[in-house]
């Protein structure tokens, strides 16, 4: 089964990004399941390196690195990046500058879509 997670929230604005990445990682511990992450809106900040983690919060960057290290995919909306002045070079290794076209393709391929 293929899952797509669309993440709209900044990394520490709420627990949505944390829960989405945690859930996607957990789901894909079974080799019969795949998951992709797509960051849009304020969610694009989740894929940027060198965050200062607020006290008591989970490290979203390290969680995303773990997710990507297993060969999984994460796309980051280029329009949202541009609107926030985020350079491609600042993305976590393995995350890539993406588009609504790719989100559309991933949506069509997915069996389940979860929006956080």
Tokens of 96: 């890539």
Looking from the CA of 5 toward its CB, the CA atoms found within 13 Å total: 26
The DSSP secondary structure of 39-51, one letter per residue, reads E-GGGGGGGBS--
Q: What is the CATH number of the domain that holds 25?
A: 3.40.1260.10
pTM for the whole structure: 0.94
Domain count, the chain: 1
* 39 in Cβ contact with 75 (< 8 Å): yes
Question: What's residue 24's pLDDT?
Answer: 98
pLDDT beneath 50, residues of the chain: none
Q: Is 13 part of any domain?
A: yes
pLDDT tens per residue across span 4-34: 999 999 999 899 999 999 999 999 999 999 9
CA nearest neighbour of 21 among 75, 63, 53, 59: 63
Q: Is 116 part of any domain?
A: no
Q: Please give the backbone phi and psi of residue 34, each rounded to the nearest 5 degrees, phi first.
A: -125, 155
């Amino acid at each position: 089964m293929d899952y797509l997670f669309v993440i709209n929230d900044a990394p520490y604005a709420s627990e949505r990004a944390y829960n989405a990445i945690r859930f996607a990682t957990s789901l894909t511990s079974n080799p019969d399941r795949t998951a992709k992450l797509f960051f849009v809106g304020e969610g694009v900040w989740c894929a940027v390196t060198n965050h200062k983690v607020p006290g008591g919060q989970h490290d979203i960057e390290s969680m995303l690195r773990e997710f990507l290290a297993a060969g999984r995919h994460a796309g980051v909306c280029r329009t949202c990046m541009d609107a926030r002045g985020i350079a491609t070079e600042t993305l976590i290794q393995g995350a890539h500058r993406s588009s609504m076209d790719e989100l559309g393709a991933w949506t069509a391929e997915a069996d389940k879509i979860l929006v956080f």
